[in-house]
Chain A
C-alpha cells in the first residue's frame, strides 16, 4: 500500500504494473496529493470524465506515482457545479492538465492562479465542453468559420463576437515582460521548417531570452471524443496514432489497460514481442534525435549518418513486421506481429551493425570541439528544478530524475530483463545526448536478450473483443520519451466510455520554458530538439 490516509481506501487493481485506485471526496484531494509529494511522489496524469448518466456526477481522475506503484484517485464532483481544489501548487505540471480538463469538460480548479484556456483555441464556444456526453459535435460543423477573414477594405472586426457566439480571434493573454530594451519574438505556429505547430513567445533583451511562453493546442483533433464511438479494437488503432513516433508505447499501454479491465493476461510470446517492438521504437527515435541534434549545430554529417542508420531500422521494421513505424502491431489481448528465425537473424545482424556504427559516431560527437561547445551547458535543467516541476522520462533522467517504468515497475517481460537505467546529472543538451546514447546501447542489448529468451512456438493469441461493464483500467509503458499512460473507462454495456491517453510531454513542455532562460535565442532550436516533445500527443 503506497500511502495511508483516513479517508482513502485503496484497492489493488488487476494491472500489469502495481496500481491502486480509490474514491475520494474533492476536499481530501489536496491533502492526499501533498502527502504523496512529501513522500517523493509525482503526478502522472489528470483528466476528467462525465459520469452524469450512471452516477449523476462528474469524475476527476488523478494518477500519482510513488516508489511502490501508481495511485489512481477518482474524485466525485458535483454534476451541477464541478469544482475541485487546485493541485498545481503541489504539482506544477498539473496546471495545463487542469486547464485542459476545464476546456474539455468544464471541471474547474478552485483557487487556481491560472485559468486561461489551453486546448480550446477559437474553434468552439467558451461555454460548451466537447467531452460532455450531451455535447453535440455535429452542430458545430455547420457553425460559421471561427476566424473569418475581413473583407478587403473594411474594418478587421466586421464579425463581432456576438454575431455567431464564437470569438473571431483567438485571444490569449501571454505574460508580458516589461523593461528597457525588452521585446518579444512570436514564433510559429507556422514554422520555416516542416515540424509540428506550436507557438513560442520569446521575451528577449538582445539575444538573451528572459522568458519563453508556449502556446500549444494547434493540433487538437478531438481524439478523446472520437474514442467514445469506437469499439475496443478500433480504439487500438486510434491510440496508435495519438503520437506517431510513440505508437508502440501507446498501443501497449492501451492493451495493458484493456487487459487489466478484462483481467486476462496475453500470451508470453505476445509480451516478448511487445517489448521487442518497444525497444525498436526507442532505437529508431534515439537515432533520429541524435541526427537532429547534429543537424541543429549545422553538423550535417552527423544528421546524414544517424538517419541512414534510422532508415535501416525502419526498413527492417517494414520487412519484418509490415510497417515502418510498427503501427497496429499490438492489439488488446495479443499482437499481430510475429517473428521467424530469419527475422531473428536480421535483427541480430542489425544490432551488431548499430553497435559498431553508433560507437564510432559517438566517438566523433564526443571529440568534436565545435559540437561539444554548443551542447555543453546549453539549456540546463538542474536536478532540483527537475524534481520541483516533475520532469520525467528521458529528459528527467538527464537531470538526475531516476524514474524508468521498465526498472521500477517492470511488467512482463521486463521483470526478466534487468534493464539498466541511464541517468546523468548535468541536465544540459549534452546530458540528454549522453542519455540517448546510453539508452540506445541498452536497447540493443535488450533486443538481443529478448530474441534469446523469446518463446517462438505458441498458439495464436485471441484478440480481446469486449470488456466488462463499468470497468476502469490503466496501462503505463516507458516509451522512448517517457512514461506513456492510457486510461480506459467502460460504460454500463462494456463499451468505451472514456479513453485518456497521456503523453509525458505534458510534464516536460513547461520545463522547456525554464531550460531556455538565460540562453540565447539561436540556441532554442537545439534545446527544443534535445527534449523533442510531442505536440500531437498533448494536443489530443
Chain B
C-alpha cells in the first residue's frame, strides 16, 4: 500500500513536470521553427527566444475589446489555452503512464482540439467583423476535412496496438520487438498533412502573413489584443508541440521513459529536445520550399491525407502489419 502511494506520488510529480515543461518549451519550439526558416531564407532572424519576448510584451499591454464583444469572446482565449495545455498533458511526451493520460484516449484528444476550434470560430464570429467570419468559415472548411483524416491515422495505430490509449500505443510500438509497419508509413504521411493544416502552416495557411484577405487562423484572432492574444499565441505554440508530440509518439516512440523512472529521465529529456529540434527544422524546410496553395486546393490536399490514412488502414487489414 505504501509502495503504491509512492508510485502514484512520483507519477503525479512526473505529470506536473511534463505540464511545466510543455508550457515553457512550446514558445521555444515556435521560435526554433522561425529561426530555422530565417536561416534557410538567408535572413539572420529574431532569435529562438523571440516568442517569449512577444508574450512578455503582450502580457504587459492593456487589452482592447470591441464594444459588442460578449462573454464568449472574453473566455475563448482561456478555453483555447486550457484545451491545448490539457492536450499536451495527456500525450506521452517525456513519460508514459502519466495519471492524466488515463483520462482521455486519442478520440477524446481529437475532441479536445475540436472544442478549442469551435470556441475560437464562435469568438471570431461574435465580434461581427467580416474578417472574423471569413476566417471562421475557412477554418471550418479546413478542419472538417482534417479531422476525419486525423482519426483514421489514429485508428491505424490503434489497430496495431489494440488500444486507443496513447500510452498503450506508445508502449506497444516502443517496447515490443521492432517491426516495420507499412501501414504506419502511410499514416505518417497523412498525419504530416493534417499537422500542416491544423497548425495553420504553409501550404494551407501562412502564420506570418499580414494580408488580411488571405488569412485563415490569423483572421479569426485579428480582434484580440494583449493578454488574450498572448494566450492564443501561446496556445498555438502548445498545439504545434502537441501535434509534433503525437507524431513522435505514433511514429518514433523511442526514448520515452515510464513515469517514476528517475534514472531514465535526463535521457528522456534529451531525446525530447532532439526530436523537437529535428521536427522543427523539418517543418521549416517544408515551409520554405512550398508556396501557399489556393484555398480551394486545400480540400484536395486534405482529401489526399484521408486517402493515405485509409490506405494505411487497409494495408493493416490486408497484411496484418
Contact = CB atoms under 8 A, between A and B. Distances in A.
B211 A192 contact: yes
Nearest to B211: A525
Contacts of A308: 42
Interface stretch (A1-9, A133-141, A242-250, A365-373): A365-373
A520 B292 CA distance: 14
B203 interface: yes
B210 A370 contact: no
B222 interface: yes
Contacts of A193: 210-212
Contact of A305 (B42, B210, B296, B297): B42
B276 to A, nearest CB: 22
Interface residues of A, number: 32
Interface in B122-154: 130-131, 134
Given A192-B212, A305-B42, A522-B213, A297 B288 contact: no
Given A298-B203, A298-B206, A300-B37, A371 B291 contact: yes
Given A298-B206, A374-B294, A520-B296, A525 B213 contact: yes
A57 interface: no
Contacts of A183: 130
A521 B211 CA distance: 11
B134 A300 contact: no
A310 B61 CA distance: 36
16 contacts: A185-B130, A186-B130, A187-B212, A191-B212, A192-B222, A193-B210, A207-B295, A207-B296, A297-B291, A299-B290, A299-B291, A300-B288, A301-B40, A304-B43, A305-B42, A370-B292
A301 B288 contact: yes
Contacts of B261: none
Q: Which of A301, A303, A305, A524 has the most CB of B within 10 A?
A: A301
Contacts of B288: 300-301
Given A192-B211, A193-B211, A304 B41 contact: yes
A116 B291 CA distance: 41
Main secondary structure of the interface of B (DSSP, over half): loop
Contacts of A328: none
Contacts of B209: 298
Interface of B: 37, 40-43, 130-131, 134, 202-203, 206, 208-215, 222, 288-297
Nearest to B130: A185
B214 A525 contact: yes
A214 interface: no
Contacts of B40: 301
Interface of A: 183-187, 191-194, 207, 294, 296-301, 303-305, 308, 368, 370-371, 373-374, 520-525
A301 to B, nearest CB: 5
B178 to A, nearest CB: 37
B213 A296 contact: no
Nearest to B290: A370
A297 B290 CA distance: 9
B292 A374 contact: yes
A301 B295 CA distance: 21
Nearest to A370: B291
B209 to A, nearest CB: 7
Q: Which of B37, B130, B213, B292 has the most CB of A within 10 A?
A: B213
A176 B213 CA distance: 20
Nearest to A371: B291
